[in-house]
Homo-oligomer: A and B are copies of this chain.
Amino acid sequence: MSSAERVRSAAVKLFATKGFHGTGIRDLAQEAELSSATLYHYMGTKEDLLVEIMTTSLHRLIDAVAKATAGSDDPVVRMRTLVALHVLAHAAQPGETRVVDNEVDALSAPARARVVALRDEYEQFWAKAIEDGAAANVFHTAQPAVTRLALLEMCSGVARWYSPTGPLKLEDLATHYAELALRALGHPVAVRAHDLRQCLEVVAQVWDLPVQEGF
């Protein structure tokens, strides 16, 4: 792993576990096994590093859902895909996703605006799927916006506790959450692991992970 990569992954790890404000430059240097002065060869300011992590993570999420939902008109299929991708991303990349989800407040106003715009762009995929499903009478929810937020939070939580070394396989995790979401949307159908195969592939591709069950 190059020094640049070490810096980035140290930042992801520490920002995720200790928070942006809880992580010092010296912590980063120690984790990356570099001097703190050397850090500045690979990053701008500490905030630049945070922004970079957040934007690449969000861009990847957006890429992934764009790819995986392209060409699908069925809101149920799209919803299933969105949930699966979100959960897989949070389970496979808990560091980056926790940073995105928890450290928005640490950003300065202009950087925050850019990040929030990306997050909104991403959430639009969810909003659209829910709306379409409601219009098609396959989803039943009195408060589509509230439901969207509820489901997003539900899925994001995975990054807080999922362990790839635990008994639960990634595909079963994704399957389970997809089912929870569809049930909550009033469309209680069984989801099979097979339905989510494409999602695993997209995640592997976008995040450059080895294609295997547990990444």
In the complex, A148 Cα to B160 Cα: how many Å? Answer: 13
Copies of this chain in its oligomeric complex: 4
Judge whether B150 and A160 touch: CB under 8 Å. Answer: no
When each residue 158-195 of chain A gets 1 if its CB lies under 8 Å from chain B and 0 otherwise, what string results? Answer: 10110000001000110011001101111010000000
Q: Contacts A19-B105, A186-B183, A188-B186 hold; do A150 and B157 have CB atoms under 8 A apart?
A: yes
State whether the Cβ of A102 lies closer than 8 Å to any Cβ in chain B. Answer: yes
Interface hits, A76-102 → B, CB 8 Å: 102
User: Which of A19, A168, A172, A180 has most B Cβ within 10 Å?
Assistant: A180
**Which residues of B lie under 8 Å from residue A146 when comparing CB positions?**
168, 173, 176
In order of increasing CB-CB distance, the 3 nearest A-B pairs are: A153-B157, A21-B21, A154-B154
